[in-house]
Amino acid sequence: MKISEFISYYEAFCPKELSLENDPVGLQIGSPDAILEKVLVTLDIREQTVEEAIEKGVQLILAKHPIIFHPLTSITTSDSQEKLLLKLISAGISVYTSHTNIDIVQNGLNDWFCELLDITNTKILDTKTGLGRIGSIPTTRLSDFSEKVRTAFGLEHLRIVAYNHDLNQEIHRVAICGGSGGKFWQQAKEKDADLYITGDIYYHTAHDLLSSGMVALDPGHYIEHLFVPKIAEKLRQFTPEIQIIESQQSTNPFYDI
């Protein structure tokens, strides 16, 4: 199978046209005519995943986060990111990225988050972009649901934004947006969410949330790692003749001490 054929199967499920304007999705490195036998699925392309791809002998990496975010003026070994590009090119490994389109598409990453947390009757959070979801859970205390989130994502710690550290308040309507979705908290508020879940909440955004009476959980950006097993499962259904390998490397830049 050619890479172009593989891409057509994937994009039938998750069209790149769904992505936000100027979001660099699609084939970023390589030839669409290259023959494909093995694919490595990963959240990020970092030094350890490049080594993993070379070791596994894959022809294509399918990643959520693009390896090229901004236009390049050079590709040299003096820059760490450009060095990764050169290594991939030298190894003959192509790269395809599926960024905001997998967040937006129905039965995509934000819907998988809802399934994992038993959030039902979901609707799109930000209708302008298609990002995020909002739905219902059985009425429960914030403390109990926070623990559910922590356990579901395998977290040691979880940041909570709540007035007076009150974990006894009851919640039943939850909004969620994978990645850095702090700017969508007002949409969550307008849609009567009791709780907003997203990563990378800024200090001043947290203050705004508190002033508005909103409660939020920040489980971190790395919860998007759910992309790896879920996309691998999809790909095995679409292209059973291709060997789909789930990256075993953690690319989370943060850890607890």
pLDDT tens per residue, range 207-240:
999 999 999 999 999 999 999 999 999 999 999 9
In a domain, 251, yes or no: no
In a domain, 17, yes or no: yes
| End-of-domain residue from the set 102, 117, 149 | 102
Average pLDDT over residues 35-46: 98
Domain check: are 134 and 213 in the same one? yes
Domain check: are 87 and 175 in the same one? no
Which has the closest alpha carbon to 45: 28, 59, 63? 63
- pLDDT grade, residue 84 (50/70/90)? very high
CATH (domain of 25): 3.40.1390.30
Q: What percent of the chain has pLDDT over 90?
A: 91
| End-of-domain residue from the set 36, 71, 102 | 102
Average pLDDT over residues 163-192: 94
Domain check: are 118 and 192 in the same one? yes
Strand arrangement, sheet containing 131-141: 120-126, 131-141, 170-180, 195-199, 215-218, 159-161
Q: What is the average pLDDT score of the chain?
A: 96
In a domain, 253, yes or no: no
pTM of the predicted model as reported, rounded to 2 decimal places:
0.95
Alpha carbon 191 to its chain's center: 23
Which residue type does 218 have? D
Cβ contacts of residue 74 below 8 Å, gap of 6+? 82
Query: What's the structural domain count of the chain?
Result: 2
In a domain, 257, yes or no: no
pLDDT of 15: 98
Domain check: are 125 and 76 in the same one? no
In a domain, 234, yes or no: no
pLDDT of 131: 98
Token readout for 104 is 């937006």
| End-of-domain residue from the set 102, 127, 162 | 102
Domain check: are 120 and 185 in the same one? yes
The better pLDDT of the pair 165, 162 is held by 162
Average pLDDT over residues 198-202: 97
In a domain, 239, yes or no: no
Domain check: are 114 and 88 in the same one? no
With a cut of 90, say whether residue 71 has pLDDT above it.
no
- pLDDT grade, residue 70 (50/70/90)? confident
Domain check: are 200 and 151 in the same one? yes
In a domain, 246, yes or no: no
Domain check: are 135 and 48 in the same one? no
Backbone dihedral angles phi then psi of residue 147, each to the nearest 5 degrees: -65, -35
Domain check: are 87 and 117 in the same one? no
Q: Quick: pLDDT tens for 14-34.
A: 999 999 999 999 999 999 999
Domain check: are 69 and 134 in the same one? no
Look up the domain containing 28 and give its range. 3-102
Does residue 172 contact residue 141 with C-beta atoms inside 8 Å? no
Domain check: are 97 and 110 in the same one? no
In a domain, 250, yes or no: no
Domain check: are 83 and 65 in the same one? yes
Q: What percent of the chain has pLDDT over 70?
A: 100
Average pLDDT over residues 164-182: 94
- pLDDT grade, residue 144 (50/70/90)? very high
